[in-house]
Amino acid sequence: MLDIYQSPLSTRYASQEMSYLFSPHFKFLTWRKLWLALAKGQKTLGLPISDSQIQQMQSALEKIDLSAAREYEKKLRHDVMAHIHAFGDMCPDARGIIHLGATSSYVTDNTDLIQIREALTLLQSKIVQVVRQLHAFAKKHASLCTLSYTHFQSAQPTTVGKRACIWLQDLLMDLEDCEHAAKNLRFLGVKGATGTQASFLSLFEGNHEKVNKLEELVCKEMGFTHLLPIAGQTYTRKQDIRVMAVLSSFASSSHKFATDLRLLAHLKEMEEPFAKTQVGSSAMPYKRNPMRSERICSLARFLISLNENPLYTEATQWLERTLDDSANRRLSLPEAFLTADAIVNLLCNITADLVVYPKVIEQHLRQELPFLATEQILMHAVKKGKDRQVVHERLRIHSLEDSRRIKEEGLPSNLLHQIARDPAIGLKEGEIEELTNATHFIGRAIEQTHAFLDDAATSVLLKYKEIGTYLADIDL
């Protein structure tokens, strides 16, 4: 038999734990857990369901025969009914009370919410690890001066640690968004065919209190604290919009980090780890392409593009429900989470061993600081009694000439030497060297870094201290 297409997200990029959350086994096992929770709640509230029926359902939960379910679906052309029959075959005494009073969305939508909750929690735990690693990196390099770049042109110096804090701050926001989204998911509950709970009200002979209690029991059994008070047949797709916004925002943060690292790799100031036997190019043996960072950008663009999808789905839900969201969401929700997982695995891997080249960073500082220091030199010369306008003009002439030599002749900067030789400026080389010390130009970068790490970042790490260490093993 020929191989058939499989998503590279599950076969190549995403982790096994995230892939499992959207696997057939997890989904159909959750359907059965929902049917069991419904039956247990109905029994508790007085419907004629026996202990043996509950026990049979419990014992058959893991006995999932996907082949049998597929055969039923071919005949019935309805996936939920197919699995009701397949489950009933495994617990025949309970066959008649499985799915009692429910509609398909009871299992499909509530399962989607459970998958989303578990996936957000998993993603959150991995972002915590990235935060830990960037926190340590920023602390280690808090005082390492480096050129900053605006418009990718040299600008006032900052520190490597301060730059890492910019990445870290975005991820802390993503972490907060993940937690908020997971905690505030609202369970669909037991709403019935059009959301009115009419079938359950009939089962309980008009007892509204029992219908409410049933929904509370099922909600609690499935680990949710919030219920949608109003729904049609399905939960409002606004929840998908909120979740996708969190994922795409995380993708944006990740793309920014990976793009910055790619730019820094070009400058040879920083780079992602490079394996001993890794090949950078099939044609150019010397290449050290930032493959992992490029992959983050590639995956992030795909995830960002998915953000638009649930907006259309929500906009086109007709009245109490329509089925044109089904096939779409089978694709978009799992693919979004698997993509986010693939990205965070790469972030974990890269930030665990970021490579910094201080000598190159220092070299770039030396090349640019003479130009950045001209304002300091001007002020110092004026303090020593020189005419401000004369010094400004001399500095302008020297700077333009030095820039010309660098660009047209490929020569190193000679600006400081020329300034020291100019009697109109009147400063000695030692004075000028002191004025061009990078620490004079970084403002409060070091203080800002330590304050941020000690306050915002550390408090978050303490909050999540119980989350274990995650080691991302990127094989490909």
What are the catalytic residues? 151, 281
- Residue by residue, DSSP assigns 282-303 as SS-TT----HHHHHHHHHHHHH
Tokens of 138: 């920023």
Q: In the structure encoding, which two tokens stand for residue 296, read together?
A: 């983050």
Contact indicator for 413, 370 with CB cutoff of 8 Å: yes
Neighbours of 262 (CB within 10 A): 17
CB atoms within 10 A of CB 176: 14
Between CA 165 and CA 162 the distance in angstroms is 5
Closest C-alpha to 64, from 35, 105, 101, 96: 35
Residue 132 phi, psi dihedral angles, 5° rounding: -55, -45
Residue 407, number of CB atoms within 10 A of its CB? 9
Paired tokens of 130: 């990235």
Which run of H or E residues covers position 251?
helix 238-267
Q: What is the DSSP string of 180-241?
A: HHHHT--B--S--SSSS-HHHHHHTTT-HHHHHHHHHHHHHHTT-S-B-SS-SSS--THHHH
A 10 A CB-CB count for 238 gives 14
Is 10 in contact with 338 (CB distance < 8 Å)? yes
